[in-house]
Amino acid sequence: MSAPPAIDRILFTEEQVSERVREVAREIDDRFEGREVKLIGVLKGSVFFLTALAREMQSPVKIDFLAISSFGGHADHGRPQGMVRIAKDLDEPIQDEDVLLVEDIVDTGFTTRYLLQTLAGRGPRSLAICTLLDRTVRRIVQVPIDFRCFEIPDRFVVGCGLDFKQLYRNLGYIAVMNPERG
């Protein structure tokens, strides 16, 4: 099947993504040594990555989701930057649990920092981050990244959960988007 016209070029194929997710799942399993892990996904971008990761993990896994909305700051690639709040909270407490925050992409770092601070305040046993994509060239606030699948260049990307105006999340590959044809 041919790529939609808005796709400029494929950065990572579906096979490359699956292989990398499998490797990172092994790294995570090694870290938790058979303990239960609570995966926390950020709606909606991390859903595809979270389920793929969970399927590859051997550790006993629980999942929960939260949703955020960003506001304030200047618009960038059409996304507001800077302030973040929780629009839908987790269903369950995370006290004394080993928590892994699962992100689609860490870009400026604002979202991740806010989520880490919020989750840390709820008394987890441990708290780590796993991100599908890391765009360190755009980082504004420093956040510790425990596990990451790919570092990417400073281009807007879609696929594997990442959207442009809510489209393209279901692409199996990760692609650079041409906004003029989006």
Q: How far is the CB of 27 from ligand IMP (least distance, A)?
A: 21
Per partner kind, with CB cut-offs from 5 to 8 A, the member of Mg ion, ligand IMP, none near residue 109 is: ligand IMP
We find the least distance from the C-beta atom of residue 36 to ligand IMP, in angstroms, to be 26
Say which of 107, 146, 154, 163 is annotated catalytic: 107
Centre a 10 Å sphere on the Cβ of residue 22 and count the other Cβ atoms it contains: 14
The total of other beta-carbon atoms located within 10 Å of residue 69's CB is 11
Strand residue runs (E) in the chain? 7-12, 37-43, 61-71, 83-88, 98-106, 126-134, 147-151, 157-158, 174-177
Q: Which residues have C-beta within 8 Å of that of residue 24, sequence separation ≥ 6? A: 53, 130, 147, 148, 149
Residue 115's binding partner among ligand IMP, Mg ion, none (Cβ under 5 to 8 angstroms by kind) is: none
22 in helix, strand or coil? helix
Task: Name the burial class of residue 158, with classes exposed (0-12), middle (13-18) and buried (19+) by CB atoms within 10 angstroms of its CB.
Answer: buried
Site map (CB under 6 A) of ligand IMP, residues 60-79, x = contact: -------------------x
Number of residues that bind ligand IMP (CB under 6 A): 16
Interactions with ligand IMP, residue window 96-115 (CB under 6 A): 104-112
- The nearer residue to ligand IMP, 67 or 120, going by C-beta atoms, is 67
Our finding on whether 45 is near ligand IMP (CB under 6 A) is yes
State yes or no: is 91 an active-site residue: no
What does the binding site for Mg ion look like in residue numbers (CB under 5 A)?
163
